[in-house]
């Protein structure tokens, strides 16, 4: 018997086909995510980003191929999921702390009540996202950016190995968007947290992620940001001229091509 | 009849009717908090009709089942079926519930039509809400269902709330949303079936919706919703029973009317209070 070192790959997709019912949406997906990595998933609307995300989260089963978790085998790593905030029903008056507490439910156990350590965990998660002074406020009364921070705190409260964010900056003003992206980057940098972020906002992903996965027409490509998010690739996929500019170290992606800037 | 005479008569002659209606009201309003917050009120409406159809089915000459079993069988099957169909994102939830409601009513009419005259009239009486003649056996069955269902809902409160509030994230946290939804639908279905058999469909649907709607509107915290719904289910059966005697009305609908009256009074009171507050 050999003592093989544990792989640093947190998860590995091997030739996965994902979809609904009998309909495949994305096919032949093969990639791996290393521990501590930041992967961005981009693609036009309807390209299958959410389908792939739901498969990664275990909500959908792969139609073909397999998903492995080499570093935690046979267990699935704890995933902290941050859904789009408009998918949350606001009818019930949950407080911010109660929403974050939901992230502890798995650790608390079936039919059990929260303990002191769970209370400390939610205080800590709220502090990490700068929402500690909002713990008693109703979630439905928070602004879009505050709601998103609360949902990130809920994911952090589950003590995840991988943080998965679905369109986290959707519908936010420019200042809230920037603050949120900085928060996500600092969480990734400080805690060796593996992050997967899905977004249709190419600039957001280009400036945060170490690697980019691009989905288009059911096909899937993974690589470094510069390799994937170049003008030729993007113009072809989106069917319109797209300009990629580097300004003060930031990638700016705009529709209209180089001529549109003049 | 004087007020004291009415009260004495109710307590002396109809203790099971009064106790049963209070228990049924608390049970229905607790389940109703989930039904209203999941936006599936038609689920409650459809299941009450399916429960009555099940009772009518049990009375059919060639079936000869115990009506409680017929009702429980129909509602459990319907709850399982609905929990699966409602997960299909391609079919609107309200459309599924609307179809099931109207089919349940049609089924109920057809079953009653084919039932022997005596049983058909008993079922119609149940639908009208003449709940005065609740027997001790029926009361015990209802009390048993109350204890079991409430224990389940209190023990698994956080799981039911999480799956209702954000099923997708709950799924990623290891809670199998499909099974929790099925568990909820079947447990609620059994409670609705037992309560409908004893206090009637109008009563059950009334208490599945009116106290929860009032409680959700009034509460500032989720944990308060259940407490307010409980308080709002205690008074209407007593007021309704008194009103039914005093005015010679069917008890079930009078209790529902009393619950609605409380809802209107509460809403009016809040409006007045906020009007005075803004003037000062």
pLDDT single digits (tens) A110-142: 889 999 999 999 999 999 999 999 999 999 999
Confidence (pLDDT) at B83: 86
Neighbours of A52 (CB within 10 A): 25
- Give me the mean pLDDT over the B241-246 stretch: 91
Confidence (pLDDT) at A22: 81
Task: Pick the residue of B172, B175, B183, B229 with the most A CBs within 10 A to test the interface with A by mutation.
Answer: B172
Confidence (pLDDT) at B3: 81
Q: Which of B236, B209, B43, B59 lies closest to B131 in space, CA to CA?
A: B236
| pLDDT per residue as tens digits for the range A21-37 | 888 888 889 999 998 99
Confidence (pLDDT) at A4: 44
List CB contacts (< 8 A) between B161 and chain A. Answer: 92
**B237: number of CA atoms within 13 Å, CB side?**
29
Percent of chain A with pLDDT strictly greater than 70: 95
Domain boundaries, given as residue ranges, for chain B = 3-267
Mean pLDDT in chain A? 87
For chain A, domains (ranges, CATH) are 1-77+196-224 (3.40.50.300), 230-262 (no CATH)
| pLDDT per residue as tens digits for the range B12-30 | 888 899 999 999 999 999 9
Percent of chain A with pLDDT strictly greater than 90: 46
A57 Cβ contact list (under 8 Å, min separation 6): A79, A81, A164, B168, B171, B172
Q: Do B166 and A79 touch (CB under 8 A)?
A: no
Residue A260 has pLDDT above 60, yes or no: no
Distance CA A70, CA A77 (A): 10
Task: Pick the residue of A23, A94, A102, A167 with the most B CBs within 10 A to test the interface with B by mutation.
Answer: A102
Confidence (pLDDT) at A147: 94
Residue A158 has pLDDT above 90, yes or no: yes
Which residues of A fall below an 8 Å CB-CB distance to B? 57-59, 79, 81, 83, 87-89, 91-95, 98, 102-103, 105-106, 108, 110-111, 138, 154, 158, 164
- Give me the mean pLDDT over the A149-172 stretch: 92
Percent of chain B with pLDDT strictly greater than 70: 95
Among A94, A98, A158, beta carbon nearest to B173: A158
pLDDT band at A261 (very low <50, low <70, confident <90, very high): very low
Assembly ipTM: 0.85
**In chain B, what's the furthest Cα-to-Cα distance?**
71
- Give me the mean pLDDT over the B132-139 stretch: 86
Q: How many CB pairs under 8 A join A and B?
A: 69
Q: Which CATH number fits domain B3-267: 1.10.3470.10, 3.40.30.10, 3.40.50.300, 3.30.479.10?
A: 1.10.3470.10
- Give me the mean pLDDT over the A213-242 stretch: 84
């Amino acid at each position: 018997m050999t003592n093989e070192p544990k792989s640093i790959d947190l998860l590995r997709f091997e030739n996965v086909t994902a979809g609904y019912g009998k309909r495949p949406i994305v096919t032949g997906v093969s990639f791996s995510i290393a521990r501590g990595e930041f992967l961005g998933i981009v693609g036009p609307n309807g390209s299958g980003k959410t389908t792939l995300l739901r498969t990664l989260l275990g909500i959908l089963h792969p139609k073909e191929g397999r998903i492995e978790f080499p570093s935690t085998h046979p267990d699935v790593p704890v995933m902290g999921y941050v859904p789009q905030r408009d998918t949350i029903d606001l009818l019930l008056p949950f407080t911010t702390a109660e929403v974050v507490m939901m992230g502890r439910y798995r650790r608390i156990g079936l039919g059990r009540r929260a303990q002191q350590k769970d209370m400390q965990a939610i205080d800590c998660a709220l502090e990490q996202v700068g929402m500690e002074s909002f713990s008693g406020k109703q979630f439905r009364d928070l602004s879009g950016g505050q709601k998103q921070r609360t949902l990130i705190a809920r994911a952090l409260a589950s003590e995840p190995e991988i943080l998965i964010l679905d369109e986290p900056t959707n519908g936010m003003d420019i200042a809230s968007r920037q603050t949120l992206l900085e928060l996500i980057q600092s969480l990734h940098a400080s805690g060796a947290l593996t992050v997967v972020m899905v977004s249709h906002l190419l600039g957001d992903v280009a400036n945060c992620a170490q690697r980019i996965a691009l989905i288009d027409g059911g096909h899937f490509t993974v690589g470094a940001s510069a390799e994937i998010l170049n003008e030729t690739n993007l113009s072809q996929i989106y069917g319109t001229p797209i300009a990629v500019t580097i300004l003060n170290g930031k990638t700016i992606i705009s529709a209209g091509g180089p001529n549109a800037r003049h | 009849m004087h007020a004291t005479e009415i009260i004495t008569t109710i307590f002396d002659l109809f203790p099971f009717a009064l106790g049963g209606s209070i228990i049924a009201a608390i049970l229905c309003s607790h389940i109703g908090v989930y039904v209203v917050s999941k936006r599936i009120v038609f689920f409650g409406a459809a299941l009450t009709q399916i429960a009555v159809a099940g009772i009518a089915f049990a009375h059919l000459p060639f079936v000869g089942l115990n009506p409680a079993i017929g009702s429980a069988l129909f509602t459990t099957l319907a709850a399982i079926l609905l929990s699966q169909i409602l997960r299909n994102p391609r079919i609107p939830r309200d459309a599924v519930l609307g179809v099931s409601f109207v089919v349940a009513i049609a089924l109920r009419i057809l079953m009653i039509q084919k039932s022997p005259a005596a049983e058909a009239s008993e079922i119609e009486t149940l639908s009208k809400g003449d709940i005065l003649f609740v027997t001790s056996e029926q009361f015990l069955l209802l009390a048993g269902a109350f204890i079991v269902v409430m224990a389940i809902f209190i023990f698994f409160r956080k799981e039911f709330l999480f799956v209702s509030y954000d099923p997708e994230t709950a799924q990623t946290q290891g809670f199998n949303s499909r099974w929790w939804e099925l568990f909820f639908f079947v447990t609620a279905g059994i409670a609705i079936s037992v309560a409908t058999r004893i206090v009637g469909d109008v009563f059950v649907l009334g208490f599945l919706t009116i106290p929860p709607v009032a409680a959700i509107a009034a509460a500032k915290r989720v944990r308060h919703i259940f407490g307010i719904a409980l308080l709002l289910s205690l008074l209407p059966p007593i007021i309704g029973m008194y009103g039914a005697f005093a005015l010679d009305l069917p008890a079930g609908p009078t209790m529902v009317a009393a619950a609605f009256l409380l809802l209107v009074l509460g809403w009016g009171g809040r409006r007045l209070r906020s009007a005075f507050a803004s003037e000062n």
